[in-house]
Each structure stands twice: as structure tokens, then as C-alpha cells.
Amino acid sequence: MSVDYSYLAKSIASLTAGETDEVALMATVACEVHFSDDRFDWTGFYRVTDPDLLKIGPYQGGHGCLQIPFSRGVCGAAARTGEVQLIADVESFEGHIACASSTRSELVLPVLDNSGGLIGVFDIDSNQPDAFTQKDATALGQILSDVFAR
């Protein structure tokens, strides 16, 4: 199965219309994205809860790390730099945090609110190497913007 981003975006827009609670939005997005593509092994959010600290938010899949400092891992790099992290091989990423030993590749996108403030990161792990493309990053980035920056 491969994700149909047009359909996914419309589905998420319909499900989240009128909702303003960030946790409810995160839960809905995580669920819809997770079940849209077989490549997505773990799909979820890490929320900014303190300066330079991410804590686990809504997710689908096995357990995740409970907290991640901005200074560590792929999620921390996305939060710290504000840039999408498209990692083909997590073992080649210096400082990668192995929340699950099955993770081979990872895509992490910063999540911004309507004033441009960082509210968290959206993390997708795959048990396949080099599972993600720029198309995934662009489409998911647009979905996140449509949901959280409206």
C-alpha cells in the first residue's frame, strides 16, 4: 500500500474541521497518517513542553521515547533547527536515539502554530531503509501546516 496524499489531506481536513485542541488534532493526524502507508512503522508527535525539551504526544505503533532533548536525536535536530530531517539510514545519523531497534529510516517534520511558533515535531519511523522521499516530506509538511497553522 502506498499513500494517496490528495485523499489523505482531504480526509484529515474533514476530520479536523473546527477542532482547535492540539492534542486532539495530533491524535487524528497520527492515526490517519499511520494507516495510510505500509512504510510507516511508528507515527507520532513529540510536543514541546519545556524549553529545549520534547515529550511524547499522540502516536501509533510501539512505545516511543518519553522525552527527547532538542540536543539529541533526529527529533531533537528537527526541533533545534526547524528543518525537516529526512534520514535514509538512522545508524548513519550521529546521536540517533534508538527508541525502537527496528527503525531503519526516519522522517521528522517541525510542527508550527499559526504564529510560526514550534509546538512539536511529527516523527515517522520505518523498518525499511531509505523509505522516505522528498515527496513525502513536502506532502506531509503541507498537511501539518493546513492542520496546525490555520
- Residue 19: CATH number of its domain: 3.30.450.40
What is the residue range of 97's domain?
5-148
Take residue 7 and report the three cell numbers written for it: 485523499
pLDDT at 21: 97
The CA distance from 147 to 150, in Å, is 6
pLDDT at 106: 95
What number of other Cβ atoms are within 10 A of residue 66's Cβ? 10
State the sign of the Cα–Cα–Cα–Cα dihedral 25, 26, 30, 33: positive
pLDDT at 97: 75
pLDDT at 93: 83
pLDDT at 1: 63
pLDDT at 150: 87
Take residue 78 and report the three cell numbers written for it: 528537527
State the sign of the Cα–Cα–Cα–Cα dihedral 70, 36, 59, 128: negative
Measured at the CA of 35, the angle between CA 34 and CA 37, to 5 degrees, comes to 85
Give the count of domains, the chain. Answer: 1
The partner residues of 68 in beta bridges, in order of sequence, read 54
Q: Which helix (H) or strand (E) holds 136?
A: helix 134-148
3-state secondary structure of 3: coil
3-state secondary structure of 107: strand
CA 105 to the chain's CA centroid: 13
Q: Which pLDDT tens digits describe the chain residue by residue (150 residues)?
A: 689 999 999 999 999 999 999 999 999 999 999 999 999 999 999 999 999 999 999 999 998 899 999 999 999 999 999 999 999 998 888 777 777 677 899 999 999 999 999 999 999 999 999 999 999 999 999 999 999 998
